Amino acid sequence: MKKLFTPTLFAALLFTAALNVRAQTPRPKTQPPPPKELTVIAPVSVPVDQGRLQDGVYTSDYFGFSFTVKPGWVAMDAATRKAVMESGKAVVQNGAAEQKKAQIDAAMSRTAVLINVSKFDVNAPNAEFNAMLMCLAERVPTAIIKTGEDYLKASMLAFEGTAAKIEMVGVTRAEKLGGVPFTVADMKFTAGPRVIMQRYYVRIANEHVLAFIYSYVDEVDLKIADEMLKTVRFK
């Protein structure tokens, strides 16, 4: 590529790194409970309607889809997302060059995290890994990133020079969510002694990459995420 482009699958990596750390770190019992309603605040540089979560169904009018969140799973509000992201950045950027840190920050400014839902409340202590389903959208230069596979390849290069180790398991493949084609890839993410699996569904839509990403450590959580994605419906 003649033009440098750092994709924001960093967002999924940062959240995964942070949740891995938070699962091992008790929080004070005096911490206030998270808001019951999902609060969405879009970055000013990413003019994307972040959608809404109502009665367990998330809807994005901007990208024209909806899906049902598994009962009991918890949606992160905007303040929690910001705190988790900052924790993840500290993990991933540890020891990285200043240029790489700047690339990560620039990539994040192009991204709207539409929704995060996790198996457990991230504000409550839990020794288990917290499985997570994320949906995000990133504005991309379509002259460079023309397909979901282009985006995934660029993302693999972008992880070089960070404290994270991520590798693709198998090859990319085509699958449909709600009748719409996506490029799918499985990744293995290593953070210290913990090995976490991630599955990425990505497609180009409205000059953005639309991505569904979930992180898990066992087949039970993988099945739950699969069940949620089977409820995806496009208009």
pLDDT score recorded for residue 159: 67
pLDDT exceeds cutoff 60 at 44:
no
Distance CA 46, CA 66 (A): 20
Tokens 């705190």 — which residue? 83
CA distance 116 to 101: 24
d(CA 168, CA 157): 12
pLDDT at 42: 35
Cα 116 → chain centroid: 7
Summary mean pLDDT of the chain: 77
Kindly report whether the global pTM for this prediction surpasses the value 0.75: yes
Taking CB atoms within 8 Å and a gap of at least 24, the contacts of 82-85 are 84/14, 84/15, 84/18, 84/19, 84/22, 84/116, 84/122, 85/11, 85/14, 85/15, 85/18
Q: How confident is the model at residue 34 (pLDDT cuts 50, 70, 90)?
A: very low
Per-residue model confidence (pLDDT) at position 190: 76
The C-alpha atoms of residue 201 and residue 181 are separated, in whole angstroms, by: 9
Mean pLDDT to the nearest integer, 106-112 = 73
Q: List pLDDT tens digits, range 166-205.
A: 889 999 999 999 999 999 999 888 766 677 889 999 999 9
Residue written as token pair 């180790």: 165
Length of the chain: 235
